[in-house]
Chain A
Amino acid sequence: ETGVTQSPTHLIKTRGQQVTLRCSSQSGHNTVSWYQQALGQGPQFIFQYYREEENGRGNFPPRFSGLQFPNYSSELNVNALELDDSALYLCASSRGGYGATQETQYFGPGTRLLVL
């Protein structure tokens, strides 16, 4: 049990729709990262938020966007869903931000998104 929760656990959408996934960070953690894990693959870094600002981004298009709130909860929004967006989406929280490489990231259980 990491103290990081995600909702919903499962979601089915159709191509072209928009989706919002939610993450509640561990208490006191001001950094949240989002990862996409396609079936049978390792997670891929989408982006990171530190104190409500985007702090880094992986190789994902702008239709992937995020928000982080003062209470350290966060959202991942995906617009214009494509079939290849079907994956497990993981959020991870940690303390610090820039300069916090050694801080452990605590992962939530993920949201499994299926796009039809």
Chain B
Amino acid sequence: AQSVTQLGSHVSVSEGALVLLRCNYSSSVPPYLFWYVQYPNQGLQLLLKYTSAATLVKGINGFEAEFKKSETSFHLTKPSAHMSDAAEYFCAVSLNAGNMLTFGGGTRLMVKP
């Protein structure tokens, strides 16, 4: 069975500062990894996904994530936070070929002016 742990249920950064959201996974086989963002009262939007090609994955809105097998991590970063980045972020893993996702508990990102 696979699992996902997101360290820090709340992260607060200043506008313009580096954003770092942590995700660690547990898997017995090479996983597919995803980051989704959820704005208030909305569904989930895919930011980026790792599918065993490049270990550094670039996504939308300036976000990127690096797959580190030795650390079983897939942390999400953005060099400079914007107020519009304030949202809930979810890391997810899929092992089977059917695209059935296991999500972490989420990290709420707050951006201070």
Q: Report A's interface with B, CB cutoff 8 A.
A: 2, 4, 31, 33, 35, 40-45, 48, 50, 55-56, 58, 90, 92, 94, 96-110
Considering only residues 57-77 of chain B, those with a C-beta below 8 Å from chain A are: none
The answer to whether A107 touches B45, judged by C-beta atoms less than 8 angstroms apart, is yes
Q: Report B's interface with A, CB cutoff 8 A.
A: 4, 6, 32, 36, 41-46, 49, 51, 90, 92, 94, 96-106
A-B contact count (CB 8 A): 78
Chain A interface helix/strand/loop/mixed = loop
The answer to whether A2 touches B99, judged by C-beta atoms less than 8 angstroms apart, is no
The answer to whether A58 touches B99, judged by C-beta atoms less than 8 angstroms apart, is no
Q: How far is the CB of A90 from chain B (nearest CB, A)?
A: 6
Partner of A101, one of B32, B44, B45, B90: B32
